[in-house]
Amino acid sequence: MAVLKITADNFEQEVTNSTKPVLVDFWATWCGPCKMQGPIFEEAEAKLGDRAVFGKLDVDEQSELARKYGVMSIPTLILFKDGEVAKKEVGLHSLEEIEQLIS
């Protein structure tokens, strides 16, 4: 699998209606910590992609979704289960922290 690009157009299909937990990385191209989170997030997807869906949402392109989920700082990781927010973490996270978030 690969990290999905999450947008308003595919949010319902990919996140709300997913049968697996979905971890969404809210980020922006200009954000330094987001650039550091990117490779870790991709590594987590490669390792844990059988247990969860991994998606990235650009807060500049999808500002309404970012506002809807209360994203005030980035990077923010939100874990959705059954279409609902299960966990929300702000800041740069290690691979181990992402594993704990999903388990």
User: Annotated catalytic residue: which of 6, 23, 34, 74?
Assistant: 34
- Whether 25 is catalytic: no
Q: What distances in angstroms separate CA 4 from CA 82, 103, one per listed residue?
A: 18, 20
Q: Of 4, 18, 28, 31, which one is the catalytic site residue? A: 31
* pLDDT for the residue numbered 1: 60
| pLDDT at residue 58, as a whole number | 98
Three-state secondary structure call for residue 22: strand
**Residue 102: both structure tokens together:** 């999903």
- Number of Cβ within 10 Å of residue 53's Cβ equals 20
| pLDDT tens for each residue of 80-100 | 999 999 999 999 999 999 999
- pTM to 2 decimal places: 0.96
At residue 87, φ and ψ (nearest 5 deg) are -150, 150
pLDDT for 22: 97
Establish whether 8 is a catalytic residue: no
Segments of the chain with pLDDT less than 70: 1
Determine the 3-state secondary structure of 28 from DSSP. Answer: coil
Contact 73, 90 (CB under 8 A): yes
Q: Phi and psi at residue 15, in whole multiples of 5°? A: -110, -60
